[in-house]
């Protein structure tokens, strides 16, 4: 007991709060390592030019002329993506697989004479390509006749079971929070606790995304940008999905003393819309913009979920693939070889001869929780003087850019922590200045 009191005293004396904090599950740890993966929005909206279909679109309109899921996977891999999450069902209710719980599916479309199955094609292509496969199954359904009645909860659960049984393993399940029914629309009370329990039972290794988790949270915007302070912890008590969620700012930064481990995922589209529209072929984000989004998502301890919507052929448009391959080249070039040598025990990087540096990458080991709340980088310049760069959280990865300087060494000082931090890595780089984000 005396030892324990002494330890507590010691910890409080150095500013460490002895509190039990949530830690990631092994599935969440593996999810953190995924860092970058794709979203694919594809369905009737691809053919009608809409973003939110009404659910009354005729099945005949869904007819991709040259579908090639291996092309999606090939470009995804060339862009560095580790997985793909597909809109199995968006708000219009159209199912990209022949579901027996709906009459608004690919089986009623002319595509491959009603024998097509895009979940099958993509799940198989992902398996062949060695990347993960995930699904977006919109709870909001503007087509299903049972929607708005308790019976729909059962329909939704059966739908999920059908997908998980036929196309698993499903790595990530995506529940969006949208519901645009309006004041006179159908009021649906979703049984989320049962939805969650169902997935935990049939596929315990799947990570579930929604505004408030349980495993991964929305980052609070659809621009792909995490907070420069970004906690993997979040309080969810009293909140619900969609309109009843925490403030967007809170989702963006997390809660320092939050009770649950629910890290942020940054979803953003490579185009203005989530679905492909011909008039947006000229509005594809450039390789540099994608790189900067990487710095603002992965570089702030979150994951980067980039939407790349196939066109009416069922292929990724050339403009998108050029930007994506360019993005990966920038990444490889930028982070190819770190400068200097990291001494783990001392949290320093030393350069044998003074080096030009404008970027530092920090990594915290998260097995026992996220600890760093404030830090300073001490940059030792060639003339021996010291310049300081300050930051707050580190988490899975923190990429800090600053105006370039010639340095002899870099030392990390943790100025505020919620437990004993474990720093896995400190790496220094000199990036092309047009890529930097401050
Ligand atoms: C939102 C939806 O309403 C959008 O259409 C899109 O799917 C986005 C990723 O999630 O909730």
The tens digit of pLDDT for each residue in 280-294 reads 999 999 999 999 999
421 CA distance to ligand 1 middle (Å)? 37
- pTM for this prediction: 0.95
- 83, 114, 311, 305: CA torsion to nearest 10: -20
360 CA distance to ligand 1 middle (Å)? 34
- Map tokens 């967007």 to a residue: 248
State pLDDT tens for residues 142-195.
Answer: 999 999 999 999 999 999 999 999 999 999 999 998 998 988 899 999 999 999
SS3 156: helix
DSSP H helices in 168-212: 192-202
Residue of 135, 172, 176 best suited for mutating to test ligand 1, as the one with most atoms within 8 Å of CB: 176
> What tokens were used for 45?
């909206």
- How confident is the model over 104-116, as a mean pLDDT? 98
SS3 405: strand
83 CA distance to ligand 1 middle (Å)? 19
Q: What is the structure's pLDDT at 20? A: 77
Confidence class for position 250, pLDDT limits 50, 70, 90 = very high
| Domains detected in the chain | 2-19+337-435 (2.60.120.260), 35-334 (3.20.20.80)
Counting atoms of ligand 1 from 1, which one is nearest the CA of 180? 3
178 CA distance to ligand 1 middle (Å)? 7
Q: What is the structure's pLDDT at 182? A: 81
Distance CA 108, CA 95 (A): 10
Confidence class for position 42, pLDDT limits 50, 70, 90 = very high
Q: What are the two backbone dihedrals, phi and then psi, of residue 185, each rounded to the nearest 5 degrees? A: -80, -175
Distance CA 309, CA 283 (A): 13
- Classify residue 161 by its DSSP letter: H
Q: Does 141 sit in the ligand 1 pocket, CB within 6 Å? A: no
Q: Does 176 sit in the ligand 1 pocket, CB within 6 Å? A: yes
- How confident is the model over 352-357, as a mean pLDDT? 97
Strand partners, 174: 136, 209
SS3 content of the chain, % helix, strand, coil (to 5): 30, 25, 45
Collect all residues with Cβ–Cβ distance below 8 Å to 315 and sequence separation of at least 6.
66, 67, 68, 71, 72
233 and 261 Cβ atoms separated by less than 8 Å? yes
44 CA distance to ligand 1 middle (Å)? 15
216 and 207 Cβ atoms separated by less than 8 Å? yes
318-334 vs 287-297: helix crossing angle, rounded to 10:
60
Q: Does 8 sit in the ligand 1 pocket, CB within 6 Å? A: no
270 CA distance to ligand 1 middle (Å)? 14
State pLDDT tens for residues 372-403.
Answer: 999 999 999 999 999 999 999 999 999 999 99
268 CA distance to ligand 1 middle (Å)? 10
User: Closest Cα to atom 3, ligand 1: which residue?
Assistant: 178
Q: Which regions of 259-322 does DSSP assign to beta strands (E)?
A: 260-261, 264-269, 303-307
Strand partners, 151: none
| 13 vs 252, more confident | 252
287 CA distance to ligand 1 middle (Å)? 23
- Half-sphere exposure in the Cβ direction for 332 (13 Å, CA): 9
Q: Does 140 sit in the ligand 1 pocket, CB within 6 Å? A: no
Distance CA 274, CA 45 (A): 10
Q: Does 280 sit in the ligand 1 pocket, CB within 6 Å? A: no
294 CA distance to ligand 1 middle (Å)? 20
7 pLDDT above the threshold of 60: no
User: Closest Cα to atom 6, ligand 1: which residue?
Assistant: 274
Q: Does 57 sit in the ligand 1 pocket, CB within 6 Å? A: no
Average model confidence (pLDDT) across the chain: 95
Distance CA 8, CA 16 (A): 9
Residues in the chain: 438
Q: What is the structure's pLDDT at 3? A: 54
- How confident is the model over 17-35, as a mean pLDDT? 89
| 416 vs 6, more confident | 416
Q: Is the sign of the CA dihedral 129, 93, 209, 220 positive or negative? A: positive
- Map tokens 């930028």 to a residue: 334
- How confident is the model over 359-370, as a mean pLDDT? 98
Q: What is the structure's pLDDT at 210? A: 98
Distance, CA of 349 to chain centre: 30
Q: Does 274 sit in the ligand 1 pocket, CB within 6 Å? A: yes
Confidence class for position 17, pLDDT limits 50, 70, 90 = low
Q: What is the structure's pLDDT at 1? A: 46
Residue of 274, 277, 308 best suited for mutating to test ligand 1, as the one with most atoms within 8 Å of CB: 274
12 pLDDT above the threshold of 80: no
- How confident is the model over 263-272, as a mean pLDDT? 99
Q: Does 178 sit in the ligand 1 pocket, CB within 6 Å? A: yes
User: Closest Cα to atom 10, ligand 1: which residue?
Assistant: 176
93 CA distance to ligand 1 middle (Å)? 13
19 pLDDT above the threshold of 80: no
Confidence class for position 243, pLDDT limits 50, 70, 90 = confident
Q: What is the structure's pLDDT at 16? A: 53
Q: What is the structure's pLDDT at 375? A: 98
Encode 360-386: b = buried (16+ Cβ within 10 Å), e = exposed. Answer: bbbbbebeebbbbbbbebebbeeeeee
How far is residue 199 from each of residues 19, 87, 156, 162, 310, measured CA to CA in Å? Answer: 31, 18, 12, 12, 28
Distance CA 155, CA 424 (A): 46
Distance CA 63, CA 316 (A): 16
176 CA distance to ligand 1 middle (Å)? 6
| 371 vs 21, more confident | 371
- How confident is the model over 38-58, as a mean pLDDT? 98
Q: What is the structure's pLDDT at 34? A: 98
């Amino acid at each position: 007991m005396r030892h324990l009191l002494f330890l507590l005293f010691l910890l409080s004396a150095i500013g460490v709060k002895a509190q039990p904090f949530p830690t990631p599950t092994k599935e969440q740890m593996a999810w953190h390592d995924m860092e970058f993966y794709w979203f694919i929005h594809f369905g009737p909206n691809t053919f009608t030019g809409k973003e939110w279909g009404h659910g009354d679109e005729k099945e005949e309109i869904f007819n991709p002329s040259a579908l090639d899921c291996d092309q999606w996977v090939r470009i995804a891999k060339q862009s560095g993506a580790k997985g793909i999450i597909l809109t199995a069902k968006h708000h219009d209710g159209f199912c990209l697989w022949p579901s027996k719980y709906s009459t608004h599916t690919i089986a009623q479309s002319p595509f491959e004479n009603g024998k097509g199955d895009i979940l099958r094609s993509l799940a198989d292509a992902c398996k062949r390509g060695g990347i993960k496969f995930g699904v977006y199954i919109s709870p909001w359904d503007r087509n299903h006749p049972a929607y708005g009645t308790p019976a729909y909860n059962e329909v939704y659960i059966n739908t999920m079971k059908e997908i998980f049984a036929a196309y698993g393993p499903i790595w990530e399940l995506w529940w969006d929070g949208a519901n645009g029914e309006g004041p006179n629309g159908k009021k649906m009370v979703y049984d989320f606790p049962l939805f969650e329990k169902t997935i935990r039972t049939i596929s315990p290794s799947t990570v579930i995304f929604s505004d408030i988790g349980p495993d991964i949270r929305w980052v609070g915007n659809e621009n792909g940008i995490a907070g420069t302070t970004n906690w993997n912890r979040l309080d969810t008590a009293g909140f619900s999905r969609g309109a009843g969620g925490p403030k967007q700012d809170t989702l963006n930064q997390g809660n320092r003393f939050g009770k649950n481990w629910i890290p942020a995922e940054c979803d953003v589209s490579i185009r203005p819309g989530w679905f492909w529209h011909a008039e947006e072929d000229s509005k594809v984000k450039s390789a540099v913009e994608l790189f900067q989004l990487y710095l603002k998502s992965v570089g702030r301890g979150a994951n980067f979920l980039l939407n790349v919507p196939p066109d009416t052929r069922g292929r990724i448009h050339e403009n998108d693939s050029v930007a994506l391959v360019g993005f990966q080249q920038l990444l490889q070039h930028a982070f190819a070889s770190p400068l200097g040598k990291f001494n783990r025990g001392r949290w320093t990087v030393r350069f044998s001869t003074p080096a030009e540096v404008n970027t530092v990458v920090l990594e915290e080991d998260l097995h026992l929780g996220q600890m760093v709340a404030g830090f300073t980088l001490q940059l030792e310049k060639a003339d021996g003087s010291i310049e300081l760069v300050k930051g707050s959280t580190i988490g899975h990865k923190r990429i800090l850019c600053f105006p370039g300087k010639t340095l002899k060494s870099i030392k990390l000082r943790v100025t505020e922590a919620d437990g004993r931090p474990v720093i896995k890595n400190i790496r220094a780089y000199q990036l092309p200045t047009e890529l930097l984000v401050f």
